[in-house]
Amino acid sequence: MNPYTVLNIEPECTDEQVKTAYHHLAKLYHPDRSGADTSDKMAELTEAYNLIKTEELRKKYDREHQNNSDFTLWSKLFGECNICKNFHKKPADKKYQKRGRNVTRTIRMSNEKLFQPGPITIKYVRKCLCYNCSGTGASSFRKCTHCNGIGKVRTVERKEDGLHDVILACNFCNGRGLEPQGKCTACNGSGFINKDVTLTFMHDGKQMDYTFVGKGHSGKNNGENGSVIIHLRGRKK
């Protein structure tokens, strides 16, 4: 179980961001708004929130799950609900996922410092998922009117041996089963906000290229985060 993925927030989040993301999703998937029985899903959301709602709890979780960061609860959380089916992660909907962009920096320094071990710090602006709308860009949702909240549509394709029924992800809701209603006021509907990030790493004096996977810009529609790529080079003469 990865509560960060469940709440769609970054591990570097604050207590307030965790609280905001939880309340937003709890309101979003409340049975009165979604039109379906989501009591089990609400329980899962609450469980995820209780795991990381304070900085102390987040540190404890991070220590205990360092090698389990890729496990996601979204499939459990929404897999059994027709309205929420495929909302975040289903193989059929990969075409809607978009990997976040990389952040690439070339750092110029003297040859003396280039081959000298020591800490190096860079600062950059990272595009992160909006904490207010969890990256959806919407202020609220309703059941998709084109797929009736299932996230899939049935159509007919002509092949060499005749006509075939096929099931595809709904193009109108990107396979989520939900249609956005209104723009999120925090990100103006983009689903992202800018965050100032400071990254410090130890240079061994030998390696000149470093890649930090997942530290780049956030992905869209549950896509992977980009990487931070750093090139260390001597000053141009």
Q: Which one-letter amino acid corresponds to residue 116? A: Q
pLDDT (mean) for 1-16: 79
Antiparallel, parallel or unpaired: β 103-109 and 228-234: parallel
* DSSP for residue 94: G
d(CA 154, CA 122): 50
**C-alpha neighbours within 13 Å on the C-beta side of residue 143:** 15
**pLDDT score for 92:** 32
Lowest mean pLDDT among 79-88, 142-151, 195-204: 79-88
CB-CB contact of 232 with 208 (8 Å): yes
pTM of the model as a whole: 0.53
The answer to whether residue 65 scores a pLDDT higher than 80 is no
Which CATH number is correct for 1-81, 1.10.287.110, 2.40.50.140, 3.40.50.2300, 3.40.50.720?
A: 1.10.287.110
